[in-house]
Amino acid sequence: PSHEPSVDSSDEPSYKSSLKASHEPSPKPYDDLPVVQFRNHVSPGLCLVNKRNKLAAEDCKKTKEAQLWLIGKNGSVKSKKTGECLNGRLQVVECSKTFKKGSAFVFNKFHQTLTHANSFKSIYWNSGKLVLSENILQKGDVDSKHMWYAE
C-alpha cells in the first residue's frame, strides 16, 4: 500500500465554473420583490399601467411590461419597466434612496383595494384610461370601481 496522500481533484476549482460565474449578470436590487399586475374589477380587460410616468389603465394585452409592478416591503409600488415608484399623486417618479413615508401603498386583500397609506386614498378606474384616487374610508363603503385583482 502506498503511504502517499491521496489528492481529490473534486476540490480543485474548475476553469469552466469560474468562467461562468464571472459572466453572470449581477442581480438588480429589486429582483427578489413580488411582481404584480393589477387588473380592474369592473372592467377586467384593463390593467394599471405606467403611461409616460403617470398611472393609467390600458388593455391588459397591450403593454405587458409597463403593467408589471414590484411590491416593496416598505410599501413601495415600483414600475418593473422603469424602476421608478408610484407616488400619492399617481405619478411614477424616481425612487429616493431613503424611501419616503408619503409614497407607501397598501393592498387590502379583503377589499381588493390599492390605497395610499398617508392619504387613505384608494386608486380607481374612472373611464377610458383615466385613473384617480379618493378617500373611501370616509364613505365607509368600497365601490367595485376601487377594486383591483392583484395577479
Q: Could you report the per-residue pLDDT of 89-140, keeping only the tens digit for each? A: 999 998 874 466 568 899 999 999 999 988 889 999 988 788 999 998 777 7
Which residue's C-alpha cell is 429589486? 30
- Is 92:54 a contact under the CB 8 Å cutoff? yes
Average pLDDT over residues 59-65: 85
Q: What is the rounded distance in angstroms from the CA atom of residue 54 to the CA atom of residue 56? A: 6
